[in-house]
């Protein structure tokens, strides 16, 4: 790791810090999972090491599935660090707030298609929030932060994935949430097909009802 | 609308969502005048809703009397009666609601139905001075991370299955630990955990901002039955793993919302290890950590009274015909005009 020069802290995320760095004359992002002082070291190292390996493996798998992710340049498990391409652009979280209706609609459809690509390849992202999607200057949407991603064939996992997307839209972009999520699912359906989309929507409905204190849950259970 | 300016002064709150029956009295400025709590302690097992409701009906007059005595308040000075309308156990909620309706109609004052989860957040804000925090609310029945956004409290993350307090309680019962008055089961796990030092590997399940605790509980109980680990080590490992999970999702919500305060509330907030984990995490993010004092961490009437006062002052009352209990009432459904 001696060949990396930290330039600035880009973002202090929940579990990792992103640094803008210089690596062999290249502008890169260094993602470092910093130790969490709040949990025991043994548990902390297990979680950080596991997530570092997984993240890089699944970022690569996502590319194979047709989902843009930053190019990985170096992985250091012991330091829980990944060095990757720097994607210049804007977070979807910000874009959804400021884009006009049509542009927003297209963005959401594209996001839906990309999620569809991932799911069709048997990958769930695990943390599908609008902060984890970046529109690059070249107009491609990059998915970042695969730290909680998983390979799975389970409908349940795909449901949880999209359920989070829906929830983030409702909590952060509540004014346009319904339309955004509909557009997302339209894009999703164009990749995985109507049947699979209906299945996952039904699963999302089921997950929502599984939450506590949902109106109507008891009624359904009694039916 | 009448033209007379209301002269709100005192609010009485009734809490009866689960095992505690409690009556609190507060002023509209937020001073707590009384907070009397009577807990139902089951002889064995968890809370039986019907038995708990029976307990509540039995102690209600006594608790009310004591609350009035402690507050030294003439009941006729009350402006409104608040009650926990939900979420919670139906029979328990209904007992509290009945007491509230009777009292309100006797005193000729309006009722205010209060959401129990919001009350936990509000008493936390009141007692700690936190203004706009990310709140981790952990109790026997609830585990959620909430934060205010555009008119309402929103759930950023929650348990996908059982609550944190429930997880600890069930494990404690499986381990043969007993609950006694004043010493909740969680406290028994906490004190055993102090003598644990070996971290046993248990499932750590964080899904985005949500967590799942049922797998962790099953794994811990399985190891317990195999009798290959010391109980102290298991308690320690269970706490470390579960608390790390809730701390991590709180951290995620803090990073996502970019707020500057964290508030810990609910019955499990009494746990010192959980407090210390959250405090460390919060400080590492340059935010301020607040934990509600124990008396107001568990279910209590004062929090209902205070939240009722806030709602009443902002024009919210609950007509008798709409005062039916709401056992599955989500906090996102409630508008909170006092935060804007």
Contacts of B161 (CB under 8 A, 6+ apart): A210, B212, B213, B214
Q: Do B149 and A129 touch (CB under 8 A)?
A: no
Of A14, A170, A215, the CB nearest to B252: A14
Q: Do A39 and B244 touch (CB under 8 A)?
A: yes
The structure's pTM equals: 0.81
Mean pLDDT for B123-141 is 96
Spatial CA neighbour of B214 closest among B265, B266, B166, B277? B166
Residue of A nearest to B205 (CA): A148
DSSP secondary structure of A36-70: PTTS-HHHHHHHHHHHHHHHHHHHHHHHHTT---P
CA distances from B74 to A59, B12, B328 (A): 67, 12, 34
Q: Do B280 and A38 touch (CB under 8 A)?
A: yes
A127 is catalytic: yes
ipTM for the complex shown:
0.84
Q: Do B255 and A217 touch (CB under 8 A)?
A: no
Q: Do B285 and A12 touch (CB under 8 A)?
A: yes
Q: Do B248 and A210 touch (CB under 8 A)?
A: no
Q: Where are the domains of chain A?
A: 4-85, 89-210
**What's the half-sphere exposure (Cβ side, CA atoms, 13 Å) at B41?**
10
**What is the CATH number assigned to the segment(s) B10-119+298-339?**
3.30.420.40
Judged on CB neighbours under 10 Å (0-12, 13-18, 19+), A115 is: buried
Nearest CA-CA distance, residue B94 and chain A, Å? 16
Quick one: CATH architecture of A89-210? Orthogonal Bundle (1.10)
Mean pLDDT for A79-91 is 92
**What is the CATH number assigned to the segment(s) B121-296?**
3.30.420.40
Residue A177 pLDDT grade (very low, low, confident, very high; cuts 50, 70, 90): confident
Of A127, A210, A213, the CB nearest to B330: A213
Q: Do B150 and A174 touch (CB under 8 A)?
A: yes
Task: Specify the 3-state DSSP secondary structure of B38.
Answer: strand
Nearest CA-CA distance, residue A9 and chain B, Å? 14
Stronger pLDDT, B273 or B208, i.e. the higher one:
B273
Of A36, A43, A215, the CB nearest to B199: A43
**What is the CATH number assigned to the segment(s) A4-85?**
3.30.200.20
Task: Round to the nearest angstrom and report the end-to-end CA distance of chain A.
Answer: 61
Distance CA A47, CA A42 (A): 9
Residue of A nearest to B276 (CA): A38
Distance CA B141, CA A13 (A): 30
Nearest CA-CA distance, residue B207 and chain A, Å? 6
Taking contacts as CB-CB distances below 8 angstroms, the residues of chain A near B87 are 212-213
Q: In CATH terms, are B10-119+298-339 and B121-296 the same topology?
A: yes
CA distances from B189 to B142, B157, B196 (A): 19, 25, 11
Q: Where are the domains of chain B?
A: 10-119+298-339, 121-296
Taking contacts as CB-CB distances below 8 angstroms, the residues of chain B near A40 are 199, 240, 244
Q: In CATH terms, are A4-85 and A89-210 the same topology?
A: no
pLDDT of residue A80: 94
Helices (H), chain B: 49-71, 90-107, 116-128, 164-174, 185-193, 214-226, 231-257, 272-284, 294-297, 301-313
Structure confidence by residue, pLDDT tens digits, B52-92: 999 999 999 999 999 999 999 999 999 999 999 999 999 99
Taking contacts as CB-CB distances below 8 angstroms, the residues of chain A near B210 are 160, 164
Mean pLDDT for A133-160 is 91
Spatial CA neighbour of A26 closest among A73, A81, A75, A79? A73
Distance CA B57, CA B21 (A): 9
Which two tokens mark B13? 């709150």
Judged on CB neighbours under 10 Å (0-12, 13-18, 19+), B46 is: middle
Structure confidence by residue, pLDDT tens digits, A187-211: 999 999 999 999 999 999 988 876 5
């Amino acid at each position: 790791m001696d060949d990396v020069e930290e330039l600035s802290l880009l973002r202090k995320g929940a579990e990792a810090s992103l640094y803008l760095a210089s690596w062999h004359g290249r502008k890169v992002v260094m993602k470092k999972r910093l130790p969490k002082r709040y949990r025991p070291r043994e548990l902390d190292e297990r979680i950080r090491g596991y997530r570092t390996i997984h993240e890089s493996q699944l970022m690569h798998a996502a590319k194979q599935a047709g989902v843009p992710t930053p190019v990985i340049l170096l992985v250091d498990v012991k330091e829980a660090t990944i060095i990757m391409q720097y994607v210049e652009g804007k977070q979807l979280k910000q874009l959804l707030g400021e884009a006009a209706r049509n542009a927003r609609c297209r963005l959401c459809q594209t996001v839906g298609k990309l999620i569809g690509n991932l799911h069709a390849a048997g990958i769930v992202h695990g943390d599908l929030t609008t902060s984890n999607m970046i529109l690059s200057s070249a107009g491609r949407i990059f998915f970042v932060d695969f730290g909680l991603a998983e390979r799975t064939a389970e409908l349940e996992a795909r449901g949880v994935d999209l359920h989070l997307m829906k929830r983030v839209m409702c909590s952060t972009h509540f004014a346009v949430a319904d339309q955004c999520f509909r557009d997302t699912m339209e894009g999703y359906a164009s990749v995985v097909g109507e049947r699979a989309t209906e299945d996952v929507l039904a699963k999302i409905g089921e997950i929502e009802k599984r939450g506590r204190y949902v109106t109507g849950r008891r009624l359904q259970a009694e039916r | 609308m009448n033209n007379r300016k209301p002269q709100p002064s005192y609010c009485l709150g009734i809490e009866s969502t689960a095992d505690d029956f409690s009556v609190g009295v507060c002023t509209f400025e937020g001073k707590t005048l009384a907070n009397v709590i009577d807990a139902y302690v089951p002889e064995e097992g968890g809370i039986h809703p019907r038995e708990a409701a029976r307990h509540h009906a039995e102690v209600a007059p006594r608790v009310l009397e004591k609350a009035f005595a402690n507050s030294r308040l003439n009941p006729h000075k009350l402006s409104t009666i608040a009650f926990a309308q939900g979420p919670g156990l139906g029979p328990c909620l209904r007992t509290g609601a009945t007491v509230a309706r009777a009292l309100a109609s006797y005193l000729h004052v309006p009722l205010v139905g209060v959401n129990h989860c919001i009350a936990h957040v509000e008493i936390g804000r009141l007692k700690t001075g936190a203004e706009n925090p990310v709140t981790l609310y952990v109790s026997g029945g609830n585990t959620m991370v909430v934060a205010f956004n555009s008119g309402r409290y929103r759930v950023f993350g929650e348990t996908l299955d059982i609550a944190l307090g429930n997880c600890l309680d069930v494990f404690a019962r499986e381990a043969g630990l007993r609950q006694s008055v004043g010493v909740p089961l969680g406290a028994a796990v906490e004190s055993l955990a102090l003598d644990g030092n070996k971290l046993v590997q248990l499932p750590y399940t964080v899904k985005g901002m949500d967590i799942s605790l049922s797998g962790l509980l099953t794994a811990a109980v399985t190891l317990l039955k195999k009798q290959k680990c010391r109980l102290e080590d298991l308690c320690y490992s269970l706490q470390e793993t579960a608390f790390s999970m809730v701390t991590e999702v709180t951290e995620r919500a803090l990073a996502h919302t970019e707020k500057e305060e964290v508030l810990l509330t609910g019955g499990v907030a009494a746990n010192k290890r959980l407090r210390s984990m959250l405090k460390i995490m919060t400080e590492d993010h340059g935010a301020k950590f607040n934990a509600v004092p124990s008396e107001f961490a568990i279910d209590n009437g004062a929090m209902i009274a205070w939240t009722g006062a806030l709602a009443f002052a902002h024009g919210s009352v609950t007509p008798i015909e709409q005062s039916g209990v709401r056992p599955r009432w989500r906090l996102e459904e409630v508008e909170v005009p006092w935060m804007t």
